[in-house]
Amino acid sequence: MAFVSVNSPNKKQTELIANRWQAKLKASGASIKAFAFENSRIIFIADERGYKDMVKVKEFCLLQKETKDFEWNQQVFKPTEENLQAAAAQVENPIPIGKLPPNFKLPPGVHTDF
């Protein structure tokens, strides 16, 4: 179980953030549930893989612009300006389709001739 404080004006907005983050984390393979329980607090509960999933949740949350802090195992983690800038740069400058790095190789069996 972990807690996240977010920049949110009310519980409804916090619920929207919790739902969006839960969907993104589940899409990445994490088996977690997220619930808004105060105006600006979210609780994350790991279902099956516990520690591994919570590490993924921590890394994800600390890259989100809405995060104030992440509390887990009686430790409080805060997002760093460097991490937030790196995450913003990745969103602003994604790799364009068809412009993959020169050393990029497709896995065996994957074809690009659609």
What are the sequence ranges of the domains in the chain?
2-92
* Tens-binned pLDDT, residue by residue, of the chain (114 aa): 999 999 999 999 999 999 999 999 999 889 999 999 889 999 999 877 788 899 999 999 998 989 999 999 999 999 888 766 766 666 555 555 556 566 666 667 665 554
Residue pointed to by tokens 């790095």: 101
| Helix residue ranges per DSSP H, 9-96 | 11-27, 50-61, 81-92
Residue pointed to by tokens 């991490």: 83
Burial degree of 114 (CB within 10 A; 0-12, 13-18, 19+): exposed
- Topology (CATH level 3) of domain 2-92: Alpha-Beta Plaits (3.30.70)
Question: At CA 87, angle to CA 85 and CA 91, rounded to 5?
Answer: 115
Answer whether 0.85 is exceeded by the pTM: no
